[in-house]
Structure 1
Amino acid sequence: MDLGVILGDVHTTLSPREHLDGLLRQVEAAQRNGVRYIVMGHHYIYGDLRWLQPIPTLARIAAELDPGVKIGTMVVQVPLFHPVALAEELATLDILTRGNLIVGAGAGYRREEFTAFGVDFDQRFAMMDEALQIVRMMWTQDEVDFHGKFWRLDGVKTHIRPWQDPHPPIWIGALRDSGVRRSARLGDAWPVTPETQTEDMHRMFGVYAAARRRHGRPPVARHPLRREIVPGATTEEAFRRFEFMARDRLLAYAQRELATRDAGALTDRFRQVAAKEAIIGTAEDCLDQLRTLAAQVPVDPVIVRAQWPDMTADDVVAYLDDLGRDIVPGMREIVPVDARAVVDYSVVPHPGPTGEAR
Structure 2
Amino acid sequence: MQFGILMGDQPVSVPPEEHLDLMLRKVEAAQKAGFTYLTIGQHFLYQDFRWLQPIPLLARLAAELDDHVRIGTTVLVGPLHHPVQLAEELATLDIVTRGKLVVGIGTGYLPHEYEVFNMPYQKRYGLLEEQIALMTKLWTEDRVTFHGRFWQVEDRPTHIHPIQKPRPPIWLGAMKETGVKRAARHGDVWTITPQQTIEQVEKLVGIYVEERQRLGLPLNKLPLRRELQVADTFDAALTDFAAVAHGKYVSYAASGMQLLEAERVREEFLANVQDHVLLGTGEQVRRQIRDIAARLPIGPLLIRPHWPGMDADQTAGYLERVGREIVQPLADLESIDFDQFAPAAV
TM-score scaled by length of structure 1:
0.91
Query: 2:92 matched to 1:92?
Result: yes
Return the alpha-carbon distance in structure 2 between the equivalents of residues 266 and 93 of structure 1.
42
Query: 2:13 matched to 1:13?
Result: yes
Identity of aligned residues (%): 42
Instruction: Name the count of aligned residue pairs.
Output: 337
What is the correspondence of 1:301-340 to structure 2 with a 5 Å cutoff? 301-339=300-338
State the 1:116 CA deviation.
0.9
Residue type at the aligned position of 2:250: L
Return the alpha-carbon distance in structure 2 between the equivalents of residues 77 and 232 of structure 1.
35
What is the correspondence of 1:270-309 to structure 2 with a 5 Å cutoff? 270-309=269-308
Residue number in structure 1 paired with 2:233: 234
Residue type at the aligned position of 1:163: I
State the 1:3 CA deviation.
1.1
Residue number in structure 1 paired with 2:179: 179
Q: Are the structure 2 counterparts of residues 225 and 265 from structure 1 closer, same or farther at C-alpha, using a change threshold of 3 Å? A: farther
State the 1:342 CA deviation.
3.1
State the 1:35 CA deviation.
0.6
Residue type at the aligned position of 2:340: V
Return the alpha-carbon distance in structure 1 between the equivalents of residues 252 and 155 of structure 2.
43
State the 1:344 CA deviation.
3.7
Residue type at the aligned position of 1:20: L
Where do 5+ consecutive residues of structure 2 fail to align?
A: 260-264
Residue type at the aligned position of 1:66: D
State the SS of the aligned residue for 2:189.
Answer: coil
State the 1:253 CA deviation.
3.9
State the SS of the aligned residue for 1:330.
Answer: coil
State the SS of the aligned residue for 1:301.
Answer: strand
State the 1:136 CA deviation.
0.3
Return the alpha-carbon distance in structure 2 between the equivalents of residues 305 and 343 of structure 1.
29
State the 1:23 CA deviation.
1.0
State the 1:343 CA deviation.
4.7
Q: Which moved more, 1:324-333 or 1:74-83?
A: 324-333
Residue number in structure 2 paired with 1:57: 57
Query: 2:53 matched to 1:44?
Result: no
- 1:150-172 CA distance string (max 9 Å, x none): 01110021000001011110001
Return the alpha-carbon distance in structure 2 between the equivalents of residues 82 and 249 of structure 1.
31
- 1:165-218 CA distance string (max 9 Å, x none): 111100011121100000000000011001111011011111100111122212
- 1:80-101 CA distance string (max 9 Å, x none): 0000011000000000000000
State the 1:228 CA deviation.
1.3
State the 1:333 CA deviation.
2.7
State the SS of the aligned residue for 2:191.
Answer: coil
State the SS of the aligned residue for 2:291.
Answer: helix
Residue number in structure 2 paired with 1:159: 159
State the 1:55 CA deviation.
0.6
Q: Which moved more, 1:208-217 or 1:67-76?
A: 208-217
Residue number in structure 2 paired with 1:353: none
Residue type at the aligned position of 2:233: T
TM-score scaled by length of structure 2:
0.94
Return the alpha-carbon distance in structure 2 between the equivalents of residues 13 and 245 of structure 1.
17
Residue number in structure 2 paired with 1:223: 222
State the SS of the aligned residue for 1:52.
Answer: coil
Residue type at the aligned position of 1:175: M
State the 1:76 CA deviation.
0.6
Return the alpha-carbon distance in structure 2 between the equivalents of residues 302 and 94 of structure 1.
22
Q: RMSD value over aligned CA atoms? A: 1.6
State the 1:250 CA deviation.
2.6
Residue number in structure 2 paired with 1:342: 340
- 1:298-326 CA distance string (max 9 Å, x none): 11111011111021111111111111111
In the alignment, is the contact (CA less than 8 A) between 2:227 and 2:277 conserved in 1?
Answer: yes
In the alignment, is the contact (CA less than 8 A) between 1:203 and 1:345 conserved in 2?
Answer: no
Q: Are the structure 2 counterparts of residues 20 and 325 from structure 1 closer, same or farther at C-alpha, using a change threshold of 3 Å? A: same
Where do 5+ consecutive residues of structure 1 fail to align?
A: 256-262, 347-358
